[in-house]
Amino acid sequence: MNLFTSLQWAGPVLALTTFVTIGIGHVLVRYLQAHFGTRPAIPFFISGGIVLIVSLFTPNHLISAILGLIGITLVWDGIEIYRQEKRMRREK
């Protein structure tokens, strides 16, 4: 058996997914809040909820975990849009 094919890739794939989604989310939250206020928060909540529900019905465990990470990141980004709004008000 080849060592490369026997490795467990879920850990690195999920770590990379987490890193990328948080990084993109951080930039998106700042950009969207600056241009649109808190209006994008609700679409983030809804899309995150939909992605989380889809992850429940995905038969592949790795894909389900990736969708779960993306979904919860979208939900959290919705929360962060409101928190960013508060931070921006304090700075003014």
Per the structure, the count of domains in the chain is 1
Burial class (CB in 10 A: 0-12, 13-18, 19+), 37: middle
Which residues, in sequence order, are CB contacts of 73 under 8 Å at separation 6+? 18, 21, 22, 25, 48
Q: Is residue 26 part of a domain?
A: yes
Per-residue pLDDT tens digits for 28-55: 999 999 999 999 999 999 999 999 999 9
Tell me if the pTM is above 0.75: yes
Q: Is residue 4 part of a domain?
A: no
pLDDT confidence bin for 4, thresholds 50/70/90: low
Q: Is residue 1 part of a domain?
A: no
Q: Is residue 45 part of a domain?
A: yes
> What is the extent of the structural domain holding 20?
10-91
DSSP 7: S
